[in-house]
Structure 1
Amino acid sequence: MGKIVRHTSEELKAMISRGEDRTDWERLRNMTEEEIEANAYADADNPPLTDEELTAARIVRHGRGRPKKDRPKKAVSLRIDPEVLAYFKGTGKGWQSRIDAALKEWMKEHKAA
């Protein structure tokens, strides 16, 4: 088994432009559909699905991004005193959530009548 080598996409593009890739593009361009299918079926790493597997398969649709929250937060623009901003940012990652928690705590202590 050969050693695994990693390249960035830029390195790979440069290698291909210099003709350093090992793909036989001419052979691939000249392959018939039958040859392509035969090679796909012969690939031990990716065997074709059986009729039973296809019947049992189910489509799963995932939404983009993280799951929706029951009560999503609202984005706002808020003018904050520089010292307050520096303090909360200085507490590290999650500083915005800590501002939210501090405001909620203030609300609990100062409930409107």
Structure 2
Amino acid sequence: MTISDERLKEIENIPDSAIDTSDIPELDEHFWANAKMVKPTAKKAISIRIDEDILDWFKNQGKNYQTMINTVLRSYVEHHQK
């Protein structure tokens, strides 16, 4: 899903007091007791051949398309390691 620059500006201009957060639970001591620090892994620049339509789709999702490709690949790997 993409979001227009115009809509992003509208969202940025909404004051915090106008945002309904009633459906978001507070982070209590239980949450923090079980929270884990996740450090980013080192990235390695590579050259990879990807179908043009696939690359175009990711690029159309936004400026962080390479990170998104990495996230999709990580999800696939984690799913298949189980």
Normalising by structure 1, what TM-score?
A: 0.36
Larger radius of gyration: 1
Normalising by structure 2, what TM-score?
A: 0.48
